[in-house]
Structure 1
Amino acid sequence: MKVCIIGNGGREHALAWKLHHSPSVTDVYVVPGNAGMTSIATVVNLDWKNRDTLLAWLLDYKIDLVVIGPELPLVEGLSDAIRAEGIPVFGPSQQASRLEGFKSFAKELMRRYEIPTAKYEVCQDVETGKGIIHQWGVPIVLKRDGLWGGKGVTICETFTDAERVLKEMLNSSEESVVIEEYMRGQEVSLLSFVDGTHVLPMIGARDHKRLLDHDEGPNTGGMGAYAPVPELDDTLVQVIVNT
């Protein structure tokens, strides 16, 4: 099987390494990849944003499976375009990718289907946002609505910080900001494989999101992670899957 991975980061490097060791895989290509991947994959100097060129290359090389790592190409519909050419893709459709690409969409879907989630409101103007902040109190969580590489969330400890961050977010390219109640506790991520009908969970993992030790500093795309997570037992996993 010939597999092509889209992306050039650590996530894609890990995928390439694992696929390289699979007895079912004969060739691993990475678009655009990076120099550190050359020992385990063929790095192809193509830009996934040049869709016509990429699709022509995939067909010419008779790629059997495409694995899309980053969120942006998924949100922009690359998986749909590749599937339309008859090539299987590991990665959600553009519609399903909205769950990751737009926090307001994800929160509204959870509210509609009564999936437990933190209390939230979506605001498009500063005055409305300030009213919500002062009504709920601090600490409070402000989230940029779009993709920000894991760096779009700010936990505000004071009203002054919350108002400043709200203005900065709405004065940037964001059309809306998700204001969310602050929930204190242990965090765990339970990533799962899904096909629209079945859910196959992986082992739980926990990110270290803050830049500094002791949960201090701004959020980052991730300073590290560990797995498994001791608090996530089989009973809790089943609750999450069923919910």
Structure 2
Amino acid sequence: MFKILLIEDDLTLFKEIKDRLSQWSYEVYGIDDFAQVMQTFTEVKPDLVIIDIQLPKFDGFHWCRLIRGHSNVPIIFLSSRDHPTDMVMSMQLGADDFVQKPFHFDVLIAKIQATLRRVYNYNSEQVHLQTWHGATVDYEKHTVSNENGSIELTKNEMFILKQLLEQKNKIISRNDLIKSLWDDERFVSDNTLTVNVNRLRKSLDEIGLGSQIQTKVGQGYIALEEGI
């Protein structure tokens, strides 16, 4: 679950954005004291920051400068002003994107998803091997290998396995898995997810790991770790 720090003083807009982002399984934090934005930033350690330009105390450009002095976290600016210089200034300060108010929520979520994919998928590609129950999972080659042999998974099957292994021993809901696949630009239906999970289990059975992916009725799926 990605953490988003939303620096927005319009309480109505803040609640609307938070509610909509929560539906996409983002964890959204706000600012209680606009003179202490950096303190909240340090405490939350967000994966992405959304900043309004017009804020109490100091404007969004001020906080962007301070954040960039400490972190390369992706930043998206919001602005109700139509000055072209605002967008230029935002980019010069190191922002990743700019959204003009009023905006359609689909535009904002698309920009958030694109930014997170660009920043964090790139980093995750650098580490493409993982050990699980004595097996080596190679995300790049789409293989799982252990002393019983090696299997090759489809892209969707490996994507599902990766989501489960990133939160081992935690139940991942079917809805969250479908959204993750959709965010990764893969179209899946509820039935398609069931077929892919069943195929994933069947393939893992070949090397003795099928039972380590379990269904929690009415909740979702879980990848078990050693000792559980």
> What TM-score results when the alignment is normalised by the length of structure 1?
0.29
Give the number of the structure whose residues are more often helix, by fraction: 2
> What TM-score results when the alignment is normalised by the length of structure 2?
0.30
